[in-house]
Amino acid sequence: MKFGVVVFPGSNCDADVIHVCKEVMQCETRVLWHKDTHLQDLTTEDCIMIPGGFSYGDYLRCGAIARFSPIMEKVIEHANKGGYVFGICNGFQVLCESHLLPGALLANNHQRFICQNQYLLPQTNNTALTQQLDLTTPLNIPIAHGEGRYFADADTLKMLKQNDQILFKYCDASGNITEAANPNGSIENIAGICNVNRNVFGMMPHPERCAESVLGNADGKKLFESLLNLVYG
Amino acid sequence: MPLKELLDPQGKAVEHSLHNLGFQATNVRIGKHITLKIEATSQEEATQKVEEACKKLLHNPVMEYYEFTVSA
């Protein structure tokens, strides 16, 4: 699997994602500029990463303007053909605005930007991204956002559950999914989801920020390993 | 405007601030006001164009509702 990392004006986690894909996971990695109208040599076997940041200054709504950039037309095509797309933080917002993922990310319920380590409990093994994760052990992955309150209406939420589309929920260190462990007011503590076809993933926490033991935390690497179907001990 | 059933943290913060000033306001909600200029030959055409802009980009039905007026 190769990676393609989309860079918008205002992306600020692109270099971290490129580093993890290329140096940590040792995968061929292409950088895709927002004005590009092609995905270079990437195919549906490959994964397009939409990194975090503040694409287009978060103007209008987070991710709303990025959705109509030339590269996103190609990313949407790639997703519709079954190719992998993985959006982190602002990337998750972009994927929701692009209708590749249902729901939306609203301003945190306490109106503050939060930047902290956060425990998450994987909810399903039925996606490439989560196939190797232990559903009983919380992962510690940093969050950093002002608009991370996941919201979906009752019907959408029902569909997400029926189709097993909820990937991660915010929890405490022991894995309890409680209101106290919910950092931003997300509905049912949802931190990450996938689409019905299970090839598009979005999450607010930043696995690329904790994917090397030298950083003191390599929990995020487990997601990349899972995606690449590597065995980890 | 944010959908009525959604929490609007910004509106809530401003409401608290109004209370601190002695204004007993409730239900403070904060949305966006967008003005734009378009070329159209009739009121209907202009309405149609604005509607399309709202649907495609200006508005996200998951979180907001909108209304607009067209004036020549």
- List pLDDT tens digits, range A19-73: 999 999 999 999 999 999 999 999 999 999 999 999 999 999 999 999 999 999 9
- List pLDDT tens digits, range A142-181: 999 999 999 999 999 999 999 999 999 999 999 999 999 9
Q: Average pLDDT for residues A70-96, to the nearest whole number?
A: 98
Distances (CA, A) of A118 to A108, A144, A207: 15, 10, 11
A208 is catalytic: yes
| Chain B residues within 8 A of A96 when measuring between CB atoms | 62
Q: Which residues contact A140 (CB under 8 A, 6 or more apart)?
A: A117, A118, A119, A120, A210, A217, A219
Q: Do A111 and B62 touch (CB under 8 A)?
A: no
Tell me the Cα Rg of chain B.
16
Percentage of the residues of chain A whose pLDDT score is greater than 70: 98
User: Cβ of A114 under 8 Å from any chain B Cβ?
Assistant: no
User: Cβ of B48 under 8 Å from any chain A Cβ?
Assistant: no
Question: What is the pTM for the complete model shown?
Answer: 0.94
Strands (E), chain A: 3-7, 29-33, 47-50, 84-88, 104-106, 114-122, 139-145, 149-151, 166-171, 190-194, 200-203
Q: Average pLDDT for residues B26-39, to the nearest whole number?
A: 96
- A50 near A95, Cβ under 8 Å? yes
Per domain, the residue ranges of chain B are 1-31, 35-72
pLDDT at A232 over 80: no
Q: Do B62 and A185 touch (CB under 8 A)?
A: no
- List pLDDT tens digits, range A172-211: 999 999 999 999 999 999 999 999 999 999 999 999 999 9
Q: How many CB atoms lie within 10 A of CB B24?
A: 7
Q: How many CB atoms lie within 10 A of CB A213?
A: 9
Phi, psi (deg, nearest 5) at residue A139: -100, 145
Nearest-by-Cβ selection for B10 from A97, A111, A151: A111
| Chain A residues within 8 A of B6 when measuring between CB atoms | 106, 151
Prediction ipTM score: 0.85
Show the domains of chain A with their CATH numbers.
3-227 (3.40.50.880)
Q: Which residues contact B61 (CB under 8 A, 6 or more apart)?
A: none
- B66 near B1, Cβ under 8 Å? yes
| Chain B residues within 8 A of A103 when measuring between CB atoms | 62
- A233 pLDDT band (50/70/90 cuts)? very low
Size of interface A-B (CB pairs under 8 A): 35
pLDDT at A229 over 90: no
pLDDT score, position A230: 63
Nearest-by-Cβ selection for A151 from B6, B9, B13: B6
pLDDT at B58 over 60: yes
Q: Do B10 and A103 touch (CB under 8 A)?
A: no
Options A13, A89, A96, A171, the catalytic residue: A89
Structure tokens at B64: 């907001």
The widest CA-to-CA distance across chain B, in whole angstroms, is: 50
- A139 near A222, Cβ under 8 Å? yes
Q: Average pLDDT for residues B31-57, to the nearest whole number?
A: 96
